[in-house]
Amino acid sequence: MTRQISGLSIIVTGGARGIGRATVERFARQGASVAIGDLDPDLAAEVAETFGDRVAAARLDVTDPASWQEFLGEVAHLGPWDVLVNNAGIMPLGAVLKEPDSLTRAIFDVNVHGPINGIKAVTPGMVERGQGQIVNVASAVGRLAVADGATYSASKFAVVGFSEAIRQEFAPLGIDVSLILPTVVQTELAAGVPAAKGMKPVTADDVAKAIESVVRKPRAEVWVPNWVQGPTKLTQALPRKVQDLLAKTNDAATVLTQADPVARAAYEERARRNEKK
């Protein structure tokens, strides 16, 4: 059965920029009530004001359970919640041996603890009503590890594993869990990162469209672009020596090492503000 977007109440984290903003706009245009949670409440408010009373914005630090409770209190008038889209994430890049410990912790705090905190805060209400959906925006590197993004990749592997586990936990409770795995997306987060050979650039709205598709008709896992899933999983089923040989002829495994540090400078600086010294 296909679900209508109009009338749903949806939370989108990291909704002021990039994929999150495109997702908010897509849902709001179709009549959903949307709560935007973001560390930048002013920018989030700019997104919300376009849509009137059906969209609200409030500050949210996804790493802090107390912030989740404050956020939910501020946007409670739009609930109860049908869908939680865990989109907020950071992607600092570089050699793992040069990565400060504080940055390693920040990546896991935002990318892993963030969704877990949100799920713990929002899902109990869904359980009471016997229905709801969680959409976790992970990454293709949550299935296929890439050099110079080791901690980021590990964080997304964690999101994939967590999602697989709670899908089994929550299914008897009437709650669907969906994973979105984009490749390189044309947003600030991926500034300076080239697309792999043969890959058509992916936009924030492409990912938002995939998120919309799993809300309309829940599925366990959707890749963006979708055709990448088959070849990736086929390759991973091959012997390691064959995988290594293929990697030498394909730049997908080294795409993050080719990132332009100058083009990424502004984003990297903003992402590092999540560090807790």
Q: How many CB atoms lie within 10 A of CB 141?
A: 25
User: How many domains, in total, are found in the chain?
Assistant: 1
Of 276 and 169, more confident? 169
Mean pLDDT score of the chain: 89
| Nearest-angstrom CA–CA distance, 90 and 113 | 12
Domain assignment of residue 1, yes or no: no
Domain assignment of residue 80, yes or no: yes
Max avg pLDDT among 113-127, 193-207, 245-259, 262-276: 113-127
The side-by-side arrangement of strands in the sheet containing 55-59 is 55-59, 33-38, 9-13, 83-86, 132-137, 175-182, 221-224
> What was the pLDDT predicted at 277?
44
Q: Write 230-235 long-range contacts (CB < 8 A, 24+).
A: 232/140, 232/143, 232/144, 233/143
Predicted TM-score of the model (pTM): 0.88
| % the chain with pLDDT above 90 | 70
Amino acid identity, position 78: L
DSSP bridge partners of 185: 202
Domain assignment of residue 4, yes or no: no
| Nearest-angstrom CA–CA distance, 111 and 122 | 17
Alpha-carbon separation of residue 150 from 64, 117, 213 (angstroms): 24, 23, 30
* Residue 254 pLDDT exceeds 50: yes
List pLDDT tens digits, range 154-206: 999 999 999 999 999 999 999 999 999 998 776 666 656 766 666 677 899 99
Residue 130 in contact with residue 80, Cβ under 8 Å? Answer: no
Instruction: Decide: helix, strand or coil at residue 59.
Output: strand
CATH code where residue 116 lies: 3.40.50.720
List pLDDT tens digits, range 65-86: 999 999 999 999 999 999 999 9
Q: Which of 27, 68, 81, 152 is catalytic?
A: 152
Active-site residue, 152 included: yes
Domain assignment of residue 122, yes or no: yes
Note down the domain range covering 252.
9-274
Domain assignment of residue 28, yes or no: yes
